[in-house]
């Protein structure tokens, strides 16, 4: 069986890294009958220096993958450590989650030519124009320009999951179109319907599950929720506080909210808690600035929790008026109205919307055979 070695930064049991961990986990679980997966990840969570408990030196069996947990900078600019890893494991493909940060990637590209193995990069949204130009552009643009001019990624293969990413790889990296595979992320599988859920007309339980960071736009979500009148609103927030100052701003808005709106910070969820948490709420309010895919959106839909999203910032615009609502970020009132449309529903009406949400998601993933797409992509690159 062919071996695929993955560098992902973080992996399970990480609670703080969201989409990239979910993308790799879903791929491993779906494709492990075809490939052996080995993952190199840091031995602690994002933003935390405490080592994960119960991990052993060497390879650890985690689900259907073997994981090597290493301390910070263990492989950074270290040709000897990398070459020993590659020669011992003899991977048929090395796959990077992310395209920025040259600490490991640069030497891996050199060793790929020496040891004759292909390298695949999945940018995970890092070359989407909104992400490049809006967040730390002063660092990203010069790096991408330099990487293209110096041929850092010459000979590599690339994986795009959206039109924006496909164009970004060509524009910023200079990737040839014939070396880019366009394959959607492998989604979470849908869960059972929520026919036993009770929903009171005149109130709404809103959830936000994501990193607390400007790009996820929680502050806008809180501001919108505080403008809801005539309905009782409970707004629970789960996720790591990547920016304490940003959370403080959100919390201050919540403290000054009218009496019908209650904002609560709950905690950070483990990956296997996300689905069951969505089942406790009436909607997922997520006016994100940019999502390459939005695994957390998929988890909400798969568990029958309708969503209220920002328009044009995710691949999920077509769910509008089917599995929730999609609103323009420049129109706060549209978000307020969307919240009201769900708040007014009784149990029977809500369960109908919830079931429609699951049906929409089932149809969406059936139309896009992402599992076959990944298997074909890996085989094509390995045999090249």
Q: What is the pLDDT along the chain (384 residues), one digit of tens a residue?
A: 999 999 988 898 888 776 788 889 889 988 999 999 999 999 998 878 899 998 999 999 999 999 999 998 888 878 899 999 999 999 999 999 988 777 888 889 999 999 999 999 998 878 877 666 665 665 677 878 888 888 888 999 999 988 888 998 998 888 999 999 999 888 887 766 676 789 999 999 999 999 999 999 999 999 999 999 999 999 999 999 999 999 999 999 999 999 999 999 999 998 889 999 999 999 999 999 988 889 899 999 999 999 999 999 999 999 999 999 999 999 999 999 999 999 999 999 999 999 999 999 988 887 668 899 999 999 999 998
Q: Decide if 93 is inside a domain.
A: yes
CA quadruple 125, 128, 133, 137: dihedral sign: positive
Contacts of 197 (CB under 8 A, 6+ apart): 279, 304, 347, 350, 351, 354
Q: Decide if 210 is inside a domain.
A: yes
Q: Decide if 149 is inside a domain.
A: yes
- For the chain, first and last CA: distance in Å? 17
In this structure, the chain runs to a length of 384
Q: What was the pLDDT predicted at 335?
A: 99
Q: Decide if 309 is inside a domain.
A: yes
Q: Are 275 and 360 in the same domain? A: yes
Q: Are 218 and 348 in the same domain? A: yes
Q: Are 263 and 374 in the same domain? A: no
Tokens encoding 19: 């989409």
Pairing assessment for the beta strands 65-70 and 180-182 based on DSSP bridges: unpaired
Q: What was the pLDDT predicted at 23?
A: 84
Q: Are 42 and 149 in the same domain? A: yes
CA distance 138 to 76: 23
Q: Are 97 and 81 in the same domain? A: yes
Q: Are 376 and 311 in the same domain? A: no
Distances in Å between the Cα of 50 and the Cα atoms of 43, 61, 76, 211, 246 are 8, 21, 20, 19, 24
Q: Which residue has the tokens 């509008």?
A: 320
Q: What was the pLDDT predicted at 179?
A: 96
Q: Are 163 and 20 in the same domain? A: yes
Distances in Å between the Cα of 132 and the Cα atoms of 127, 143, 147, 163, 191 are 6, 11, 14, 15, 35
Distances in Å between the Cα of 260 and the Cα atoms of 42, 93, 139, 227, 340 are 43, 55, 43, 10, 13
Domain that holds residue 171: 1-186+367-381
Give kind and range of the element (H or E) at residue 165: helix 163-168
CA distance 292 to 127: 10
Q: Decide if 25 is inside a domain.
A: yes
Upstream peptide bond of 13 is cis (omega within 30 degrees of 0): yes
Q: Tell me which residue of 117, 119, 116, 91 sits closest to 105, measured CA to CA.
A: 119
CB atoms within 10 A of CB 252: 12
Q: Are 100 and 173 in the same domain? A: yes
Q: Are 55 and 104 in the same domain? A: yes
Q: Decide if 254 is inside a domain.
A: yes
Q: Are 77 and 34 in the same domain? A: yes
CA distance 10 to 20: 8
Q: Decide if 347 is inside a domain.
A: yes
Pairing assessment for the beta strands 261-265 and 232-238 based on DSSP bridges: parallel
Helix (H, G, I), strand (E, B), or coil: what is residue 86?
A: helix
CA distance 108 to 9: 15
User: Facing residues of 206 across strands?
Assistant: 235, 283
Q: Decide if 193 is inside a domain.
A: no
Q: Are 273 and 306 in the same domain? A: yes
Tokens encoding 105: 């990637």
Q: Are 129 and 205 in the same domain? A: no
Q: Which residue has the tokens 């798969």?
A: 302
What is the number of domains present in the chain?
A: 2
Look at phi and psi of residue 335 and say left if phi exceeds 0, alpha if psi is from -120 to 50, else beta: alpha
Question: Which CATH number does the domain housing residue 307 bear?
Answer: 3.40.50.2000
């Amino acid at each position: 069986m062919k071996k695929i070695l993955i560098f992902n930064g973080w992996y399970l049991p990480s609670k703080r890294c969201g989409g990239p961990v979910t993308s790799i986990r879903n791929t491993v679980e779906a494709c492990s009958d075809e490939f052996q997966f080995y993952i190199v990840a840091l031995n602690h969570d994002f933003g935390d220096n405490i080592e994960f408990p119960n991990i052993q030196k060497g390879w650890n069996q985690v689900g259907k993958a073997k994981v090597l947990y290493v301390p910070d900078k263990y492989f950074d600019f270290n040709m000897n450590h990398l070459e020993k890893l590659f020669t011992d494991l003899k991977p048929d493909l090395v796959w990077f989650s992310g395209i920025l940060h040259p600490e490991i990637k640069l030497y891996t590209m050199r060793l790929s030519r020496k040891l004759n193995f292909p390298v695949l990069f999945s940018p995970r949204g890092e070359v989407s124009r909104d992400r490049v130009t809006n967040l730390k552009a002063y660092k990203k643009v010069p790096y991408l320009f330099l990487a293209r001019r110096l041929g850092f990624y010459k000979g590599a293969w690339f994986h795009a999951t959206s039109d924006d990413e496909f164009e970004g790889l060509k524009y910023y990296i200079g990737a040839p179109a014939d070396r880019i595979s366009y394959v959607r992320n492998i989604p979470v599988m849908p869960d059972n319907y929520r026919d036993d859920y009770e929903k009171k007309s005149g109130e709404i339980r809103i959830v936000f599950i994501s990193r607390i960071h400007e790009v996820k736009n929680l502050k806008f979500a809180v501001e919108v929720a505080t403008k809801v009148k005539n309905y009782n609103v409970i707004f629970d927030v789960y996720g790591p506080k990547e920016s304490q100052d940003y959370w403080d701003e959100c919390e201050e808005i919540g403290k000054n909210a009218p009496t019908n709106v209650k904002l609560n910070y709950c905690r950070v969820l483990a990956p296997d808690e996300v689905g069951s948490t969505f089942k406790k709420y009436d909607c997922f309010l997520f006016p994100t600035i940019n999502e390459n895919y939005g695994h957390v959106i998929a988890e909400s839909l798969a568990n029958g929790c309708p969503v209220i999203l920002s328009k044009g910032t995710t691949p999920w615009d077509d769910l509008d008026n089917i599995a929730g609502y999609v609103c323009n970020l420049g129109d706060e009132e549209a978000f307020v109205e969307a919240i009201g449309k769900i708040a007014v529903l009784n149990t029977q009406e809500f369960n109908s919307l919830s079931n429609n949400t699951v049906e929409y998601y089932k149809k969406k993933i059936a139309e896009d055979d992402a599992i076959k797409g990944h298997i074909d992509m890996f085989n094509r690159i390995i045999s090249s």
